[in-house]
């Protein structure tokens, strides 16, 4: 199985357009990102989520061996992601089971 990981740094699009994301830590199941929106900085602990790579958009054929990770949407925070203004609290969440 091939998995394309989320980038270490990237600029947000959509609902987080222009936000700067920088990965601070990673584990088998979680990432910890620092996010700067130009005004303030906060931290997000997100579950490593993956979906199959689309091979053919017209016929909706997806790969059985190639996957890509994706960042959870805002409405799945509380389950697949957690947001913190305090770095130490974010690290504690990242390290918790």
Show me where the domains of the chain are located.
Answer: 2-95
Question: With bands split at pLDDT 50, 70 and 90, how would you rate the model's confidence at 1?
Answer: confident
Q: What is the pLDDT of residue 61?
A: 85
| pLDDT tens column, 10-39 | 999 988 999 999 999 999 999 999 999 999
Instruction: Report pLDDT for 53.
Output: 86
Q: From CA 63, how far away is CA 19, in angstroms rounded?
A: 31
Residues 19 and 11 sit within 8 Å (Cβ to Cβ): yes
Residue of 8, 21, 23, 26 whose CA lies nearest to 94 = 26
The two beta strands, 49-56 and 2-4, are unpaired
- Residue 94, classified by CB atoms within 10 Å of its CB into exposed (0-12), middle (13-18) or buried (19+), is buried
> How does pLDDT run across 37-87, given as a tens digit for each residue?
999 999 999 999 999 888 887 888 888 888 999 999 999 999 999 999 999
Give the integer Cα–Cα distance in Å for 72 and 86. Answer: 20
Can you give the C-alpha Rg of the chain in angstroms?
15
Which 3 state secondary structure label does DSSP give 32? strand
């Amino acid at each position: 199985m091939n998995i394309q990981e989320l980038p270490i740094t990237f600029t947000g699009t959509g609902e987080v357009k222009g936000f700067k994301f920088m990965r601070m830590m990673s584990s088998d199941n979680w990432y910890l990102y620092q996010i700067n929106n130009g005004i303030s900085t906060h931290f997000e602990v997100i579950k490593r989520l993956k979906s199959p790579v689309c091979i053919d958009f017209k016929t909706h054929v997806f790969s059985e061996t190639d996957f890509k990770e994706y960042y959870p949407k805002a409405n799945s925070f509380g389950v697949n992601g957690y947001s913190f203004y305090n770095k130490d609290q974010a690290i504690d969440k990242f390290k918790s089971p």
